[in-house]
Amino acid sequence: MFDLGFSELMVIALVALIVIGPERLPRVARTLGHLAGRLQRYVADVKADISREVELDELKKMRDSMQNAASDIRSSVDAELHNTEAELNAAAEGKAEAAAKADADVSTPPQAAGSIEEKQKA
């Protein structure tokens, strides 16, 4: 952030020693150290909160895309199931019609059936 070298730090320490005095300098340095630590922790917490929010947004986007994909798959499966059901029903109806037609071709006329029954009774 700041480009301070060793010589600049020595000048700042010398000015602080002269302005604050040798008796209060350790207490002021300790207080400044605590404040600097609090500032670093605050900045770290803000960075962590921001990164958590970014990750949460990414997870929400991923969840939404997964839900969209699942609904697309569900709709395609439902459509395919409906098509297959319609084809099976049409095939079943076709077989039923063919069987009915075959039964009509094979069946004996009602008069002949009656005469067969009469022959069996006799």
What is the rounded distance in angstroms from the CA atom of residue 89 to the CA atom of residue 72?
Answer: 26
DSSP sequence for 51-111: HHHHHHHHHHHHHHHHHHHHHHHHHHHHHHHHHHHHHHHHHHHHHHHHHHHHHHHHSPPHH
Number of domains in the chain: 1
Quick check: is 113 in a domain? no
pTM of the model: 0.47
Angle formed by the axes of helices 6-20 and 25-106, to 10°?
Answer: 130
Quick check: is 37 in a domain? yes
Quick check: is 48 in a domain? yes
Quick check: is 76 in a domain? yes
Which residue segment(s) compose the domain that 83 sits in?
6-99
Quick check: is 110 in a domain? no
pLDDT tens-place values along the chain, 122 residues long: 567 788 998 998 899 889 988 899 999 999 999 999 999 999 999 999 999 999 999 999 999 999 999 999 999 999 999 999 999 998 888 887 777 777 776 665 555 555 555 555 55
Q: What is the DSSP letter of 24?
A: T
